[in-house]
Amino acid sequence: MSRISRIKGFADMFPEESERYTFMEAQARRIFGVCGFREWRTPLLELTELFRRTIGDETDVVQKEMYTFVDAKGRSLSLRPEATAGIVRAYVQESCYERERVSRVFTCGPMFRHERPQKGRMRQFHQINCECLGDPSPMADAEMILMLLEFLKAIGIGKTVLKLNSLGCVACRPAYVERLGEFLAKVSGDLCPDCKRRAAANTMRVLDCKRPECRAVLERGPKMSDFQCADCRDHFGRVTRLLDAGGAAYETDPCLVRGLDYYCRTAFEVLSADIGAQSAVAGGGRYDGLVWSLNGPDIPGVGFACGLERLAMLMPPTASAVPDFHLLVLDEGLLEDGFALMQDLRGRGLSGVMNHEVSGFKGLMRQADRSGAWFCLLLGPDEAAAGAVTVKDMREGGQRTVPRENVYDILAGDKS
Ligand SMILES: [Zn+2]
Ligand SMILES: [Zn+2]
């Protein structure tokens, strides 16, 4: 029988990598918590209908990238390809708007898309998402963007560019989309097949095309900024003033559209200069129609998502936790005694492990070396007879035999 290997596009994360994700999540919890955001956890599996309604039938995500299957009851279920739909579904289902005027939510976890795997893009990937539901103010947009930048700084992502656009609203966007449609019909021959298809189904999505041929054509097209209504113009102006006041540099990019249908007004993206073509590390925007599209009340929202795989590639190395001790028991008869010592130290907040079998001294010392622990504790017959432990400093060198009750103080004191 052959060995079973993991499926393509999925990753096993060993400690060095896993700890980077834990670090990012810890920074997110700290910074978002300061800003009043609280963590929600929604299911990884939802009815397929949810994603069809929120993301849109015409999108690549819904058409070809979801992991969808029919369960024993004949229902079509999908692994979530993004987090916002599930959050908003929960928000509407539990009528959260009746309990609080503004819900500030973040969530961390895996998403699933059946895309071609490449560097920094996995079929099971991880995101941190923030959503602010119930707040129409441009202050919510600005707060969100500043919080995102703060988070990126905290995990050591230095070289970033913030791009902003306004996608207009139901009042002013239709006129723009119509003009864009007319323009695209005229230049249709110069567009790629994807753009030709999108031009009819979801016109603004054409702006998202990354092909240089299409980009060159679109440069000449109409710009949303020329069609914005007074409210949208005012909203965007206030967002940019708040960002200026918050010390955030940005570039406006008229071709920045978000990949999903329900975005309006503010759209933003943070790019890193370090990963070339795949350079967006976070993106988001306002989605005032989304709650309503799930039969909730007409409640506005703004949010963003960051892909952790790309951030993990860009982050400086994080220091792994170093164990405080590695306990070596040198005599079979002392294993239980040693176990009690180890448990006492762990109970007081020190980290470490011990040997469960007594083998040659050299082999045991090698284990202690490999553990990377600050201290090696030796418990042999001499130490046991004297009620003592030998403490060996693995960094500085040197060792001394001390009364057992002093071990904690020595380890805890030297830690700092
Ligand atoms: Zn408008
Ligand atoms: Zn194109």
Ligand nearest to the backbone CA of 172:
1
- Where in the chain is CATH 3.40.50.800? 325-415
CB under 5 Å of ion ligand 1: residues: 168-169, 171-172, 229, 232
Q: In what order do the strands lie in the sheet with 76-79?
A: 45-47, 76-79, 68-70
Distance 322 CA to ligand 1 centre (A): 55
Q: CA-CA distance, 395 to 346, in Å (whole number)?
A: 21
- In this structure, CATH architecture of domain 15-172+228-314: 2-Layer Sandwich (3.30)
- Where in the chain is CATH 3.30.930.10? 15-172+228-314
Question: Please, which pLDDT band fits residue 140 given cuts at 50, 70 and 90?
Answer: very high
Q: What angle do CA 83, 88, 94 make, to 5 degrees?
A: 130
Q: Which residues share a beta bridge with 305?
A: 129, 283
**Mean pLDDT over the full length of the chain:** 91
Ligand nearest to the backbone CA of 197:
2
Residue with tokens 């001390």: 402
Q: Per-residue pLDDT tens for 281-324?
A: 999 999 988 898 888 999 999 999 999 998 998 888 877 788 99
Distance 130 CA to ligand 1 centre (A): 24
Task: Name the residue among 41, 33, 283, 280 with its Cα closest to residue 154.
Answer: 33
Q: CA-CA distance, 272 to 306, in Å (whole number)?
A: 12
What per-residue string of b and e applies to 18-46 under the rule 16 or more CB within 10 Å gives b? Answer: ebbbebbbebbbebbeebebeebebeeeb
CATH topology of domain 325-415: Rossmann fold (3.40.50)
Ligand nearest to the backbone CA of 232:
1
How many Cα atoms occupy the beta-carbon half-sphere of 183 within 13 Å? 19
Task: Name the residue among 155, 143, 149 with its Cα closest to residue 37.
Answer: 143
> Amino acid identity, residue 80?
R
Question: Please, which pLDDT band fits residue 155 given cuts at 50, 70 and 90?
Answer: very high
Q: Which of 49-58, 132-141, 199-208, 223-232 has the highest mean pLDDT?
A: 132-141
Question: Cα separations (Å) of 51 from 69, 109, 133, 171?
Answer: 14, 17, 19, 25
Distance 54 CA to ligand 1 centre (A): 21
Ligand nearest to the backbone CA of 210:
2
Task: Name the residue among 337, 317, 318, 319 with its Cα closest to residue 327.
Answer: 337
Does the model's pTM come out above 0.85?
A: yes
Q: CA-CA distance, 320 to 166, in Å (whole number)?
A: 42
Task: Please give the average per-residue pLDDT across 131-157, as a whole number.
Answer: 96
* Torsion of the alpha carbons at 312, 315, 319 and 321, rounded to the nearest 10: -30
Distance 210 CA to ligand 2 centre (A): 7
CB under 5 Å of ion ligand 2: residues: 192, 195, 209, 211, 214
Distance 217 CA to ligand 2 centre (A): 9
Residue 256 contacts residue 164 (beta carbons within 8 Å) = yes
| Polymer length of the chain | 416
Q: Per-residue pLDDT tens for 6-45?
A: 999 999 999 889 999 999 999 999 999 999 999 999 999 9
